[in-house]
Amino acid sequence: MIAAYFNDPGAMIMTTGALVGIASALVGTFLVLRGNSMLSDAISHSIVFGIIIVWLLTRQASGPVQIAGAALTGLLTVVLTQILVASGRVRQDAAIGLVFPALFSIGVLLINLYARDVHIDEHTVLLGEIGFVWLDTIELLGQPVPEAMIWMGAMAVLNLAFVALFYKELKLSTFDAALASALGFAPAALNYALLALTSMTAVAAFDAVGAILVVAFVIVPPAAAYLLTDRLSRMLAIGCAIAVVSAVGGYWLALAFNVSIAGMMAVMTGLCFMLALAFGPRHGILARLLRVNARRQDNRCRTLAIHLFNHEGEPDQGEENVARAMREHLHWSEERARSVLLACLDQGLVRRKGPLLELTEKGRATAREILEPWSH
Amino acid sequence: MLALLADSTIQNVLVGAALLGAISGVLGSFAVLRRQSLLGDTLSHAALPGICIGFLLAGARDMPAILAGALAAGALAALAIIGITRHTRLKTDAALGIVLSVFFALGVVLLTFIQSTGTGTQAGLETFLFGQAAAILRADLYLMGAITLGALVLVALLWKEFKLVTFDPVFARTSGFPVLALEIALTMMIALAVVVGLQMVGVILMAAMIVAPAVAARQWTDRLSVMVVLAAGFGILAGTSGAIVSATARGLSTGPLIVLAISAIVLVSLLLAPRNGLIPAWLRQRAGRRELHETLVLGTLSHLAVEHGDPDYRAEQAMIDAYHGTRTHQALEALAQKGLVAPARHAPETTPHWRLTDKGHARVAHPTEREDEPQ
Residue that wins the pLDDT comparison between A239 and A312: A239
Q: Which residues in chain A are closer than 8 Å to B204, comparing Cβ atoms?
A: 45, 104, 126, 212
The beta-carbon neighbor of A105 closest among B38, B89, B256 is B256
The beta-carbon neighbor of B35 closest among A91, A108, A262 is A91
CATH class of the A2-220 domain in this structure: mainly alpha
In sequence order, what are the residues at sequence separation of 6 or more whose Cβ sits closer than 8 angstroms to the Cβ of residue A148?
A16, A62, A130, A133, A136, A204, A207, A208
CA distance B354 to chain A (A): 41
CA distance A73 to chain B (A): 18
Q: What are phi and psi of A140, to 5 degrees?
A: -140, 115
pLDDT at residue A138 tops 80: no
Choose from A251, A260, A265, A274 for mutation: most chain B CBs within 10 A.
A260
Choose from B102, B218, B246 for mutation: most chain A CBs within 10 A.
B102
Choose from B98, B205, B234 for mutation: most chain A CBs within 10 A.
B98
In this prediction, the residues of chain B whose per-residue pLDDT falls under 70 are: 1-6, 118-124, 250, 370-375
Using alpha carbons only, how large is chain B's radius of gyration in Å? 31
Choose from A27, A45, A105, A264 for mutation: most chain B CBs within 10 A.
A105
Q: Which residues in chain B are closer than 8 Å to A215, comparing Cβ atoms?
A: 97, 100-101
CA distance A276 to chain B (A): 11
The residue count for chain A: 376
Cα within 13 Å of Cα(B241), Cβ side: 13
Residues facing residue B341 across a β-bridge: B356
Using alpha carbons only, how large is chain A's radius of gyration in Å? 30
Note if the bond before B348 is cis, omega within 30 degrees. Answer: yes
Choose from A29, A34, A38 for mutation: most chain B CBs within 10 A.
A38
Record: contact B93-A37, CB cut-off 8 A = yes
Record: contact B38-A97, CB cut-off 8 A = yes
pLDDT score of A134:
67
In sequence order, what are the residues at sequence separation of 6 or more whose Cβ sits closer than 8 angstroms to the Cβ of residue A307?
A320, A321, A325, A326, A329, A330
**DSSP class of B342:** E
Q: Count residue pairs from A and B with Cβ separation < 8 A.
A: 201
In sequence order, what are the residues at sequence separation of 6 or more whose Cβ sits closer than 8 angstroms to the Cβ of residue B83?
none
Q: Which residues in chain B are closer than 8 Å to A94, comparing Cβ atoms?
A: 32, 35, 37, 211, 214-215
Residues facing residue A352 across a β-bridge: A357
Lowest mean pLDDT among A4-18, A274-288, B35-49: A4-18
Q: Which residue of B has its CA nearest to A253?
A: B109
Please check whether the domain covering A286-375 is classified as CATH 1.10.10.10.
yes
Q: Which residue of A has its CA nearest to B210?
A: A97
Write the ipTM.
0.84
pLDDT at residue A313 tops 50: yes
Record: contact A263-B105, CB cut-off 8 A = yes
CA distance A126 to chain B (A): 9
CATH 1.10.3470.10 segments of chain A: 2-220
Instruction: Go through B145-162 and write b for each residue having 16 or more CB atoms within 10 A of its CB, e for each that does not.
Output: bebbeebbebbeebeebb
Q: Which residues in chain A are closer than 8 Å to B97, comparing Cβ atoms?
A: 37-38, 40-41, 215, 218-220, 223
Record: contact B207-A116, CB cut-off 8 A = no
One-letter amino acid for residue A205 of the chain: A
Whole-model pTM: value is 0.83
B253 burial level (CB within 10 Å; 0-12, 13-18, 19+)? buried
pLDDT score of A304:
87
Question: Cα separation of A308 and A8, whole Å?
Answer: 72
pLDDT at residue A148 tops 50: yes
Q: Which residues in chain A are closer than 8 Å to B241, comparing Cβ atoms?
A: none
Record: contact A41-B89, CB cut-off 8 A = no
CA distance B335 to chain A (A): 33
Closest CA to A51 of A112, A104, A99: A104
pLDDT at residue A193 tops 50: yes
Question: Cα separation of A341 and A70, whole Å?
Answer: 66
In sequence order, what are the residues at sequence separation of 6 or more whose Cβ sits closer than 8 angstroms to the Cβ of residue B339?
B357, B359, B360
Strands B341-346 and B315-316: unpaired
pLDDT score of A364:
87
> What CATH architecture does domain B280-365 belong to?
Orthogonal Bundle (1.10)
CATH code of domain B2-276: 1.10.3470.10
Q: Which residues in chain A are closer than 8 Å to B102, comparing Cβ atoms?
A: 216, 220, 266-267, 269-270, 273
Q: Which residues in chain A are closer than 8 Å to B130, comparing Cβ atoms?
A: 108, 122
Record: contact B270-A35, CB cut-off 8 A = no
Q: Which residues in chain B are closer than 8 Å to A108, comparing Cβ atoms?
A: 130, 253, 255-256
CATH 1.10.10.10 segments of chain A: 286-375
**pLDDT tens digit string along B195-204?**
888 877 887 7
The beta-carbon neighbor of B102 closest among A100, A216, A259 is A216
Angle at B339 between CA B334 and CA B341, to 5 degrees: 75
The beta-carbon neighbor of A102 closest among B87, B93, B260 is B260
pLDDT score of A344:
87
Q: What are phi and psi of A8, to 5 degrees?
A: -95, 110
Contact A219, A37 (CB under 8 A): yes
DSSP B282-334: HHHHHHHHHHHHHHHHHHHHHHHHHHHT-TT--EEHHHHHHHHTS--HHHHHH
Question: Cα separation of A28 and A164, whole Å?
Answer: 15
pLDDT score of A125:
63
**pLDDT tens digit string along B86-107?**
888 888 889 999 999 999 999 9
In sequence order, what are the residues at sequence separation of 6 or more whose Cβ sits closer than 8 angstroms to the Cβ of residue A129?
A207, A208, A262
The beta-carbon neighbor of B102 closest among A116, A262, A270 is A270
Choose from B86, B92, B204 for mutation: most chain A CBs within 10 A.
B204
Cα within 13 Å of Cα(A51), Cβ side: 33
Instruction: Go through B200-222 and write b for each residue having 16 or more CB atoms within 10 A of its CB, e for each that does not.
Output: bbbbbbbbbbbbbbbbbbbbbbe
pLDDT score of A188:
83
One-letter amino acid for residue A168 of the chain: K
Q: Which residues in chain A are closer than 8 Å to B45, comparing Cβ atoms?
A: 212
Record: contact B259-A102, CB cut-off 8 A = yes
pLDDT band for position A46 (cuts 50, 70, 90): confident
Strands B349-356 and A143-146: unpaired
CA distance A87 to chain B (A): 8
Q: Which residues in chain B are closer than 8 Å to A277, comparing Cβ atoms?
A: 84, 87-88
Beta strands in chain B (DSSP E): 315-316, 341-346, 349-356
Question: Cα separation of A262 and A249, whole Å?
Answer: 11
pLDDT at residue A56 tops 60: yes
Record: contact B101-A215, CB cut-off 8 A = yes
